[in-house]
Amino acid sequence: MKSTIQQLQNRGYVSMQQFDHYEILNNREMIWMLNSPVAEERTISAQMLGERQEAEAITGLCEALRAEKKLYTKIAICEALVKLGYPAVDYLLPLLGTIGNNQHKVLPANLFDKSSFPLPRDIVARTIAKIGEEALPGLEQVLISGNLVQVLEAIDAVGYIAYYSKNHSSYFALNLCLNRFSNNVMVQWKVIRAFQAFPQTKMYLESIHENIAHARICDEAKRSLSKFSN
């Protein structure tokens, strides 16, 4: 059933005409409006700060992302951070895995059957992934020295960026991460999934043998190998 205009507005949706009333506000006023009790105003604020590429707003946008519940407002905040680009990465990295409950908690029952690389489920990892290659050095540092919560989501972002950019610079960091968490099944599964973006991992993936305990990991290795043949 199609949502009504009122229902969309309750989720933070705004029309282009609504922006006209707020263009006179300066950047500080826009940052303050991120805390408005009205979801539409928070959406407008985020979108305009992104368009203005106001670096001063990064902290406020990250804080807003942690608290935001409305769908369209949350999307606007993420899009603003993507537009701000590299300066936002250092503020986003500590938030990996800490917002929402959409992250993988256990190995999935079914194999991802699409031809693309899966978009990260974690909202922060997804935002960083859309920033692109300039986020890789920060993500690599998380793989090497970050905590497990951060690492699990950073792997997805690295895999996504590497797959679409063909930038293989994170291979060494992924290997170090795999060694750091050699007994963690979730890390193994995610790294093997990310390896589909790195042709140099072919021999390693071929060496993974079937076993009942790690059947899903073996399936993921086969899927990653299939990407090389394609």
Q: How many of the other CB atoms lie within 10 Å of CB of 2?
A: 5
Q: What would the pLDDT profile of 158-203 be if each residue is shown by its tens digit?
A: 999 999 999 999 999 999 999 999 999 999 999 999 999 999 998 8
Radius of gyration in angstroms for the set of CA atoms belonging to the chain, rounded to a whole number: 20
**For residue 125, which of 99, 163, 164 has the smallest C-alpha distance?**
99
Q: Is the pTM of this model over 0.85?
A: yes
Burial status of residue 132 (CB atoms within 10 A of its CB: 0-12, 13-18, 19 or more): middle
- Please write the tens of the pLDDT for every residue from 106-128: 888 777 777 789 999 999 999 99
Rounded alpha-carbon distances, angstroms, from residue 144 to 7, 35, 139, 188: 44, 35, 9, 15
Q: How far is CA 2 from CA 33, 69, 72, 75, 187, in A?
A: 29, 21, 16, 20, 40
Distance CA 115, CA 193 (A): 13
Cβ neighbours of residue 140 closer than 8 Å, sequence gap 6 or more: 158, 169, 170, 173
Q: Which domains does the chain have, with CATH numbers?
A: 5-84 (1.25.10), 123-229 (no CATH)
Compute the distance between CA of residue 182 and CA of residue 185 in angstroms, rounded to an integer.
8
Q: What is the pLDDT of residues 58-93, one digit of tens each?
A: 999 999 999 999 999 999 999 999 999 999 999 999
Helix then strand count (H, E) for the chain reads 13, 0
Nearest CA to 28 out of 8, 4, 52 is that of: 52
pLDDT tens readout for residues 9-18 = 556 666 555 6
What is the predicted pLDDT for the residue at 212? 45
Asked whether the predicted pLDDT for residue 138 surpasses 90, the reply is yes
